[in-house]
Amino acid sequence: MPPLTLIDTHCHLDYIAEGLHGHEPNTDLSEILKNAAEKGVNWVINPGVEPSAWNRVLAVADQFPNVFAALAVHPCDVASVENNPNWLTELDALLNHPKVVAVGETGLDYFHQPSETCDFQRLCFEQSLELASQKNLPIIIHCRNAEADVARIVDHAPKLSRGGVMHCFGGDAQFALDMVERGYYISFAGNVTFKKAEALRQAAKATPLEWLLVETDSPFLSPMPERGLPNQPYRTRFVAECLAEVKGITVEELARITTENAIRLFGLPITV
């Protein structure tokens, strides 16, 4: 395997450790990160999805120098803050942690819940955008079946000087270009490698290289050829190989550019 350097820009290491969502717990994160580094995946960003996860994520980031953190409330987890009027204040304070590089993940998910029941999701998303603006941090957006509302809310929110990323991108080529125009990077996860994901590969093809990121979204969405297994950060490599093929460049070149992009977006204090 040729040497290269990749950043898994979205990996729920804390989920892997806790074994959430039906997965077996795997508490040996040092082994998982060592395995990733051997495949060239040298850095990981771990997003926190609800208040009970925030300190867990920060503990992982404190433990491993090559892990950075992002904190917010996932659209499918907004019930966790519905009765907590202080959640934004608590989040605001934790965002000052030195390993935090973004507000995320936040956004809208109309796949698991019909959009007409998602007022609170939309409110949390708007408030998270405002907080990112105040803290001068980039934002990590989760968007599932909610493209029009995500674009509308982003357009009405304060403009983020540092932009953000559409993580685990699931829209079409036009939406990718529309979000790039708004200053958002487009991050592809393991599902871009799936056989039927031709539309996603078209979106990747349309995305300018300097706006492209890679991620695994572990423990979800394990890419081909290891689809169906609990995902791990080393498989960023498979995502990168797929995107390199789509773009018609070498995986080394794809890795170099997406790593530069991630360093720029998240202001990572690392040199490659």
Given the rule CB under 5 A, which residues bind Zn ion?
Answer: 142
Q: Write out the two tokens for 20.
A: 């959430």
* Distance of alpha carbon 222 from the chain centroid: 15
CB closest to Zn ion, residue no: 142
Nearer to Zn ion, 215 or 241 (CB): 215
Q: Given the structure tokens 């989920």, which residue do they identify?
A: 15
Nearer to Zn ion, 191 or 259 (CB): 191
Nearer to Zn ion, 68 or 247 (CB): 68
Nearer to Zn ion, 122 or 142 (CB): 142
CA 32 to CA 71: how far, in whole Å?
A: 22
Q: How far is the CB of 257 from Zn ion (least distance, A)?
A: 23
CA 241 to CA 234: how far, in whole Å?
A: 12
Q: How far is the CB of 141 from Zn ion (least distance, A)?
A: 9
Q: How far is the CB of 144 from Zn ion (least distance, A)?
A: 8
Q: How far is the CB of 250 from Zn ion (least distance, A)?
A: 28
Q: How far is the CB of 21 from Zn ion (least distance, A)?
A: 11
Q: In what order do the strands lie in the sheet with 164-167?
A: 6-8, 41-48, 67-71, 100-109, 139-144, 164-167, 184-188, 212-214
Which helix (H) or strand (E) segment is 185 a member of? strand 184-188
Nearer to Zn ion, 141 or 254 (CB): 141
Neighbours of 208 (CB within 10 A): 11
